Copies of this chain bind each other. A is one copy, B any other.
């Protein structure tokens, strides 16, 4: 398995559940955005055994902490995650409630002129909301 090493190197035991979740999350042609419930559904579709919802939450949070996933700031009753952990921005289609990645070449450089004393910029994220 290609994820055993990755997990071990992160200090996470490569359990059956985590490896299967890795396949669902990272064995894909493209990166994608998901809520926990959407991920639960994908897992059900792709694997035979059951993984408890608690484990899905635990794993997603563990992966997020290790930097393999990130949360996307959005106003929704559910938390959105992204398998694309590179710096990038988003369109948010308000009608379809769907996120679309913006390539870095799609957005001009963001120039933050103001500084806050003793604070460092950790990330800069642009959210472009789309109407009809």
Chain A contacts to B: CB under 8 angstroms? 71-75, 79, 91, 93-94, 100, 102-103, 105-114, 116, 118-132
Contact, CB under 8 Å: B113 / A106: yes
Chain B residues near A131 (CB-CB < 8 A): 119-122
A125, B123: Cβ atoms closer than 8 Å: no
Say yes or no: A121 contacts B112, CB within 8 Å: no
Residues of B within 8 A of A120 (CB): 130-132
Complex CA distance for A124 and B130, rounded to whole angstroms? 9
Given contacts A107-B110, A107-B112, 9 further A-B contacts (CB under 8 A): A74-B75, A91-B119, A94-B122, A105-B113, A108-B111, A116-B130, A119-B131, A119-B132, A121-B128
- Known contacts A103-B114, A106-B112, A108-B113; decide if A130 and B121 are in contact (CB<8 Å): yes
> Are A112 and B124 in touch, CB under 8 angstroms?
no
The residue that A79 contacts in the complex, of B75, B100, B109, B126, with Cβ under 8 A, is: B75
Least Cβ distance of A81 to chain B in Å?
10
In the complex, the answer to whether A108 meets B110 with C-beta atoms within 8 Å is yes
Chain B positions within 8 Å of A107 at CB level: 110-113
Distance of A75 Cα from B127 Cα, bound (Å): 13
| Chain B contacts for A106, CB-based, 8 A | 112-114
Find the B residue at minimum CB distance from A79.
B75
